[in-house]
Amino acid sequence: MASADTKDANGEDKLAYSLRRESGLASSYLYLFQEFWCPGIAIEGVKGFQKYFQAKDNDVVVASFPKTGTTWLIALTFAIVNRQYFSTENHPLLTSNPHTLVPCLEFKIFCDDIHDPVLHLSNMLEPRLFSTHTPFTALPKSITESNAKIVYICRNPFDTFISAWTYFNKIRSMSLPALELEEAFEMYCNGIVSFGPWWSHMLGYWKESMARPNKVLFLKYEDLKENVNFYVKNIAEFLGCPFTAEEERVGEIESIIKLCSFEKMKELEVNISGKLDKFIDNKFFFRKGEIGDWVNYFSPSMVNKLSKIIEEKLCGSGLSFKICS
Ligand code: PAP
């Protein structure tokens, strides 16, 4: 849906010129669009997604704040939903990055190189699987009011920040100097990060998962790390395709977990040398895959500051995080 009329020479949406903007962790500006910080290159995609996307009742949307475990969750969801079609020995996840198999609605379907997104969508095999970083409040009604299911993942804000800072510096390295940790941390604490503020993003999906548990399954990276077996079953049940006793007996769950594990995915050729697009190498999605790496970067004052923000923003919501392994 992108057109020369609505984009400038840098590929940014011209609507952006009228919006408040701030520097972001990535190279492009972030624009305050519909109450969230939208990367300039995604504004057109979010608008197209909101305007043209027609959800089907059996659609599955994996939603997340960036760097919270999206790649892992889309891999698991793809493997769970399509398990009758592929054996784990000859699986698309062995030769394709998960982001290629589960397209992002605002970055790929409506923003990138798909000439006619609506036609493309109507030709997709069902159930259709998508990913999105769009906040719950900005999702099209078609998703929120249909029977489409949403699986959301979030992660403790300490690790999310370090993951984002290291990731965006890799992207910046092609054209810009790296962002210092302190400068990036200031942006993060102010909520000025892609699709942020991060607290609003989490709380939007959290509240909906409380109000409509059959609509939104709310997951945490740390919980998956601790007991992925339980959550693979949980996701399958939530999506209406529970594992049979026979599947459990033959180790289907364990095979999926192994296929989607950080160690397995990181060493695949496609994730070592492949590219998602001209700016993003597939290997950028696989760094450490651990809980608690933030302790190697945070000063005591940073710990103090972020802890206070978490306390203040999430206070009374019932949402909390395990921050160390
Ligand atoms: P995205 O929002 O750009 O898609 P996302 O996948 O959400 O990124 O986050 C990347 C993080 O998930 C990385 O964390 P780290 O920087 O702390 O290491 C990445 O290593 C981790 N990750 C990717 N794949 C897996 C996986 N299969 N299992 C566990 N963690 C993973």
Angle between helices 252-259 and 228-238 in degrees, nearest 10: 110
**Burial class for 241, CB neighbours closer than 10 Å (0-12, 13-18, 19+):** middle
User: Would you say 286 and 265 are in contact if contact means Cβ atoms under 8 Å apart?
Assistant: yes
Annotation says 133 is catalytic: yes
The reply to whether CATH 3.40.50.300 applies to domain 48-314 is: yes
pLDDT at 11 over 80: no
Ligand 1 centroid to residue 176 C-alpha, Å: 23
- Ligand 1: does its nearest atom lie under 6 Å from the Cβ of 286? yes
The verdict on the CB of residue 67 being under 6 Å from ligand 1 is yes
φ/ψ region of 202 (left if φ > 0, alpha if ψ in -120 to 50, else beta) reads alpha
Query: DSSP H helical segments within the chain, as ranges?
Result: 40-52, 70-81, 98-101, 117-122, 141-144, 157-172, 181-189, 198-211, 221-226, 228-238, 245-249, 252-259, 262-266, 269-273, 300-314
pLDDT per residue as tens digits for the range 43-76: 999 999 999 999 999 999 999 999 999 999 999 9
- Note the pLDDT of residue 116: 86
Convert the pLDDT of each residue in 157-194 to its tens digit.
Answer: 999 999 999 999 998 888 888 999 999 999 999 999 99
Predicted confidence (pLDDT) per residue in 98-131, tens digit: 999 999 999 999 986 677 888 888 889 999 999 9
**Does residue 257 carry a pLDDT above 60?**
yes
* Integer Cα distance of 144 and 210 in angstroms: 14
The answer to whether the CB of 98 is under 6 A from ligand 1 is no
- Ligand 1 atom with the smallest distance to the CA of 159 is 17
**If you measure from the C-alpha of residue 204 to the centroid of ligand 1, how many angstroms do you get, rounded to a whole number?**
22
Q: Which of 245, 170, 154 is nearest to 208 (CA)?
A: 154
| C-alpha to C-alpha distance for 169 and 85, rounded to whole angstroms | 38
**Residue 51 Cα, ligand 1 centroid: separation in angstroms?**
30
- What's the half-sphere exposure (Cβ side, CA atoms, 13 Å) at 199? 19
64 lines ligand 1 (CB under 6 A): yes
Q: Which two tokens stand for residue 149?
A: 């299911």
Please give the pLDDT value at position 4: 47
Between the alpha carbon of residue 266 and those of residues 67, 70, 71, 95, 139, the distances in Å are 16, 15, 11, 12, 31
